[in-house]
Amino acid sequence: MAAVQGGPVDAVEEKDIKTEPSNDGCGSNSTNDGRAASASPGSGAPAAGAKPAAAAPEDQQTLLAVLQFLKKNKLTESVDILRREAGLPEDSLDLKGADSSAAGSGGDLGAADASSLLSRVTASSSAVVQAPTKAAGEDQPDVNVVLSAYSQQGDPKLYPVYYNGLKRFIESVLDCHRAELSQVFYPLFVHMYLELVYNNYESEAKAFFEKFRGDQECYYEDDLRILSSLSKREHMRGNETLLDFRTSKFVLRISRDSYQLLKRHLQERQNNQIWNIIQEHLYIDIFDGMPRSKSQIDAMSGSLAGEAKREANKAKVYYGLLKEPEIELPLDDEDEEAENEEGKPKKKKPKKDSVGSKSKKQDPNAPQQTRIPLPELKDSDKLDKIMYMKEATKRIRLGPENLPSICFYSFLNAYQGLTAVDFTDDSSLIAGGFADSTVRVWSVTPKKLRKVKSAADLNLIDKESDDVLERIMDEKTASELKILYGHSGPVYGISFSPDRNYLLSSSEDGTVRLWSLQTFTCLVGYKGHNYPVWDTHFSPHGYYFVSGGHDRVARLWATDHYQPLRIFSGHLADVTCTRFHPNSNYVATGSSDRTIRLWDVLNGSCVRIFTGHKGPIHALAFSPNGKFLASGATDSRVLLWDIGHGLMIGELKGHTDSIYSLRFSRDGEILASGSMDNTVRLWNATKAFDDLETDDFTAATGHVHLQDNSQELLLGTYMSKSTPVINLHFTRRNLLLAAGSYNP
Amino acid sequence: MAEERRQKQCSVSLPTESMKAMAESVGVGQLQEESCAALSEEVSYRIKEIAQPLYGFQSQEFIPFRFASGGGRELHFYEEKEVDLSDIINTPLPRVPLDVSLKAHWLSIDGVQPSIPENPPPAPKEQQKVESTEPLKIVKPGQEDDGTIQGKTQGATAADGKGKEKGLIRLKPRSTHELSVEQQLYYKEITEACVGSCEAKRAEALQSIATDPGLYQMLPRFSTFISEGVRVNVVQNNLALLIYLMRMVKALMDNPTLYLEKYLHELIPAVVTCIVSKQLCLRPDVDNHWALRDFAARLMAQSCKTFSTTTNNIQSRITKTFTKSWLDEKTQWTTRYGCIAGLSELGPDVIKTLILPRLTIEGARIKGVVEGQVVSNIDKIGADHVQSLLLKHCASVIAKIRPQPDLAEQYRTDYGYLGPMLCSHVMKARTQAALQAQQVNRTTLTITQPRPTLTVSQSGFSGSGGPRTPSIIKVPSSLTLMTPRPGTPSQPSPPATKYIVMATSAGAASTQQVITLSSSQSATPVTSTVPSATSTLQPLVKLESGGGPGLTGSRPLQKYIVVSLPSSASSSLETKSSVLPTSISSNPLEAAMKLDRSESPGASTQSPH
């Protein structure tokens, strides 16, 4: 397993830290990042280096505000210390303040806006005066600073009037602008409400909330519920949802025309209240061109913090596949002999050629073979590859006219305790994670599960014999089922290593465990997430794995390191599912902040943010060619994404409940989705990806117009008997396996 | 309405009184009103923060709080029953939950979902109903769902155009149902097995009819098969075949996925024929056609219960038919018996209003036969049966409506010839009811333990829904052909418990014996449940090969082990202990006899009640 030496990995790590400050694309690395970095001292240089990276523009602003305040109060010593800690240059106080604030509010607002922002900085610094001692004493000092931005505002009685005025205005504008400008309602509503609450206008806040909550889009209902329970200033501290609203600017995409319209209106009315909120809490991503339609906007909105900025999806992603390793010829001959025995000698030749040609051609979109160090293939891996290719020749070609057969594995008597399932790639083993903290591994072939004999027994065997590998296995205890005990909480995620030697499980107890499938014992417990770990997934090349949990970060690990190699921070809520890209260079994570992010394993940066789901994401699947990503969420929709262009390219509607599993067939022609509504549905992936119109304009703006063709793409619906589908897996011959626990 | 509720959600908070109560409970008295208000707000917020994400806003489930009010105070409390410690100690431990197991089945084969019990029924009952009651509806466009489901399940027809049919409007011919080759084969196999000579095959076939979710396509054919079969076999007096056909009706009615309403016009006449026909067998003096009448009467009652509506008036029509021919003076004893059986199965109310008033007349008629001299043997047997039937059904009803004491003389004046006999039957019924009441009490006591729902879970999956299973086993008991009187099955017995009786004999033949015996029981529970959960059910069924080394000889020792299959664990555990000793003691000779003569050795002699 230790095919990768420590050296290269460390080098990569250092590189990672260096590059980090430059990629603030995700814009919200604020509190979590600092915490995460300090929690894992092993991930390279300590916290001091990571801090500037964490300082997103708005944090820098607050820093500057604090500096100014200190300076005003002649606390020069503290000024120096703080400046050193933050790594700000001597003259940054005046100069950089203007710079960063301008950048923070979207660059193209002009000099006048910048100055207004500057005045805001001073304003918020005066807010700190109100509670300076408190701020110093808190364990989360930034919370107060963050909240203080709400402090000084106008007459609360006028808020409904302002809001209503804006509402009337937006209703009166031309249709084409109305949809775009309506996006402002929700963030505005939230921030106005929070301001009222913060300033202790409890009854006004309540009235405001009741009056206008009906106007908000239905997919914000969950957030609004949390918001509605907030009615006092004291509640605001420690409320995570609220912090998310404040620490991350709500991103809106608005065309230049619409934006000008809004700006003009607000300036005419002297409506500073709303203008201030837009300036402070919203990030308006202005684009040139036609305003988007309502359906276009609806397709992309729904996430906790608005849409992704366009820049966030601009980075180059090497989505191509890695070159397949050369297969040794002697083994191939053996293969051919086997074929000969079956009396089909001719079939072999063309296949070999095709494999050869495939491996020689280098995909222009593929990353460098050595972009991230991958473990070398062992002999057993090569044997497995050969098996794989043999099986692949017998693979059924799927299509709309040729649907796969589905074999359903029902877990009986699980008492609804089944939480996760995984199949090995060769479909020989199936593992289930259970709420009672156990992991159970079944053999679904006649071959029973055997473990290696105990040390004492191993001493007795003849180590020189040819079949020593057979002899070390304990026949007596061979069984169809092995139970792995070790976790102290429900097991939520489970993943087999590609070589079938290991099994990963992640649990509520905050650990990820690595189990040996040779000895059926636990080898390592990876500690790092201090909260439940919702999912874990092995890299398709083994050795690396990724985990994501309640602490809002995903972590990249290597099996031989007890500390994470990378921490992917940026999600605003729990990371609920994690998947490796087929080329192992990228990791996709889905979150309950209703976004999907794609992370570069090389430098830990976020290279894609996909918004559009209206509920927590629970399933992800990469297409076998690495170009596309499918995601399923509690909004019972499957969305399809083009990774290279960073675009949403499809929406599959049909399920009636949360989607828990997604899988592409081996050739990528069929997408299977499994859901809590007890159905497996098959979708025509080929058609979904072919119908794509990717002209330059859509690619540039990211404004896709999705056609509602779910019914055409749906190839089949298969109802199970009250068995939610937790996992799906295509065997190497394209038989679909499904698994779930039967709930009588 | 929804708006109102929403508002409530936002503003709801704990009352200050409860704050006070809580404070008092931890020893803080005299809490000020203001502090209470502040506390309640804080607590409400925190509860919302913690509990809402976990439990949502409205609980769909039962909330285990009870409400009480009095003295101006309203109280919600959690009811904690006082439990006698010795009760807990003495109750046997609940069964260990079954371990998790894995089972594979085909959800789809080449894109077509097979109709197997593991898969949900292809055409839900509602849809079948819609099809039969509103035939035009399915032809309407825009109901793609129905169309696709039908398309997918039609096997062969779906195979040619899987993807295409979605957009099309499927005009389904109403009269013809094309069956796929597999379905035709299945139909052939099933019907042959049902009326064939092999009892094991028949059991399997009936089990399949009762559980298979994909039969609705074949329903018209089954229905015709049965009605034609009855027509022919009544003429030929083929009792065995009539019984087989009635069992098919029973199986069809037991299948929860079938919507039978459409075929009642064929099935009901067939069933009624089997109840009231003058002659059902070749030798009416020897053959037990009475059992068939009883069985069919029960079927009739069941279909009345399930299918009777105000529009089709099945029950009243049937009642009228029975009464009319019963009132007819010339009606034969056989038909008379059938009419009474049919009526009395309809329930105590029917007995009360229709049968009890005629007891005197009927008694006189029976008296005429029994005490008269010139009647044929057949009439005598018939009168005898009618008498016992009347006694059986009326006794329990009279026991309920008539106040004690039971005086034979009084009964004679009220009910005539049958009075004294009725009197003793009523007394018996009363004691039995008292016994039962005791038992009910005892079982309800044990219910307090957590109820393991395991049995339901596995039997549910095998396709046989919980409440149906007992009836499968009861069927043979009421059809025992050679036993002189089918008295026992109708005796009240705890409905929850069933028994599988297995026999083993010493020596090499033991396994074979088990197989033959278990298969000779029609629709054995062994075949019904074991295949579905082979590993999990094993511990229940103990096979004991009784042959010790000293016992091998000319007379192989037979051992019966009665295993109780409870539908709820609580009742079984009690009865089990009482059953085991008695049943094991049954001697080899008796066992051998039973093997010979009866289809179901369990019901009549082994029952502990």
DSSP string, A432-473: EEETTS-EEEEE-SSSPEEEEPPHHHHHHS-TTSTTHHHHTE
Contact B447, B439 (CB under 8 A): no
Relative to beta strand A544-549, strand A250-255 is unpaired
- Run of H or E including B303: helix B289-307
With an 8 Å Cβ cutoff, are A228 and B454 in contact? Answer: no
Residues of B with CB under 8 A from a CB of A: 7, 9-11, 41-42, 45, 48-49, 52, 57, 97-111, 113, 118-120, 144, 148, 152, 162-163, 166, 453-454, 456-458, 460-461, 533, 536
What is the interface pTM, i.e. ipTM, of the complex?
A: 0.73
Q: Does A420 touch chain B (CB under 8 A)?
A: no
3-state secondary structure of A285: strand
Contact A712, B139 (CB under 8 A): no
* CA-closest candidate to residue A659, choices A625, A688, A683: A683
With an 8 Å Cβ cutoff, are A715 and B118 in contact? Answer: no
**Would you give the DSSP letter of residue B93?**
P
- Predicted TM-score (pTM) of the model is 0.62
Q: Does A230 touch chain B (CB under 8 A)?
A: yes
3-state secondary structure of B503: strand
3-state SS of B166-211 is HCCCCCCCCCCCCCCHHHHHHHHHHHHHHHCCCHHHHHHHHHHHHH
pLDDT along chain B (609 residues), means of 10: 43 76 82 84 80 62 73 75 86 85 90 82 68 50 38 39 45 58 86 89 90 82 91 88 91 86 88 87 81 91 85 86 85 87 88 85 83 76 86 85 80 83 86 75 37 33 36 32 36 37 37 34 36 36 38 40 39 38 39 38 38
Nearest CA-CA distance, residue A738 and chain B, Å: 9
Q: Does A446 touch chain B (CB under 8 A)?
A: no
User: What count of residues does chain A have?
Assistant: 744
Q: Which residue has the tokens 């333990």?
A: B449
Report how far residue B235's alpha carbon sits from residue A117's, in angstroms, rounded to the nearest whole number: 102
With an 8 Å Cβ cutoff, are B108 and A680 in contact? Answer: yes
With an 8 Å Cβ cutoff, are B162 and A716 in contact? Answer: yes
| Cα B483–Cα B489–Cα B490 angle in degrees, nearest 5 | 125
Residue B446 CA to its chain's centroid (Å): 23
A573: phi then psi, degrees, rounded to nearest 5: -150, -175
3-state secondary structure of B16: helix
3-state secondary structure of A520: coil
pLDDT confidence of residue B177: 59
Q: Which residue has the tokens 């990672």?
A: A16
Report how far residue B29's alpha carbon sits from residue B41's, in angstroms, rounded to the nearest whole number: 19
Contact B263, B219 (CB under 8 A): yes
* CA-closest candidate to residue B378, choices B343, B419, B347, B337: B337
Report how far residue B455's alpha carbon sits from residue B97's, in angstroms, rounded to the nearest whole number: 10
Using CA atoms of B521, B525, B528, B531 in order, give the dihedral in degrees to the nearest 10: -110
B191: amino acid identity, one letter: T
Contact A533, A493 (CB under 8 A): yes
* Residues 672-701 of chain A whose Cβ lies under 8 A from any Cβ of chain B: 680, 682
* CA-closest candidate to residue A556, choices A73, A43, A61: A43
* CA-closest candidate to residue A228, choices B42, B41, B10, B38: B10
CB-CB neighbors (< 8 A) of A432 in chain B: 100
Minimum-distance CB partner of B103 among A231, A412, A738: A412
First to last CA, chain B: 56
Contact B314, B303 (CB under 8 A): yes
Relative to beta strand A679-684, strand A670-675 is antiparallel
CB-CB neighbors (< 8 A) of A416 in chain B: none
Q: What are the b/e assignments for B179-197, b being 16+ CB within 10 Å?
A: bbeebeebbeebbebbbee
Q: Does A240 touch chain B (CB under 8 A)?
A: no
With an 8 Å Cβ cutoff, are B57 and A403 in contact? Answer: no
B46: amino acid identity, one letter: R
* CA-closest candidate to residue A420, choices A626, A640, A729: A729
Angle, in degrees to the nearest 10, between helices B469-478 and B239-254: 170
* CA-closest candidate to residue A523, choices A501, A554, A556: A501
Report how far residue A166's alpha carbon sits from residue A580's, in angstroms, rounded to the nearest whole number: 45
Report how far residue B340's alpha carbon sits from residue B322's, in angstroms, rounded to the nearest whole number: 8
CB-CB neighbors (< 8 A) of B9 in chain A: 225, 228
3-state secondary structure of A607: strand
Contact A183, A176 (CB under 8 A): no
Contact B561, B542 (CB under 8 A): yes
The structure tokens listed for B2 are 């929804």
CB-CB neighbors (< 8 A) of B461 in chain A: 410, 412, 721, 742, 744
pLDDT confidence of residue A142: 53
The structure tokens listed for B445 are 């006591």
Residue A27 CA to its chain's centroid (Å): 15
Q: Which portions of chain A are predicted below pLDDT 70?
A: 1-60, 86-154, 238, 240-244, 271, 327-362, 691-704
Angle, in degrees to the nearest 10, between helices A202-212 and B2-11: 160
* CA-closest candidate to residue B345, choices B315, B324, B317, B379: B315
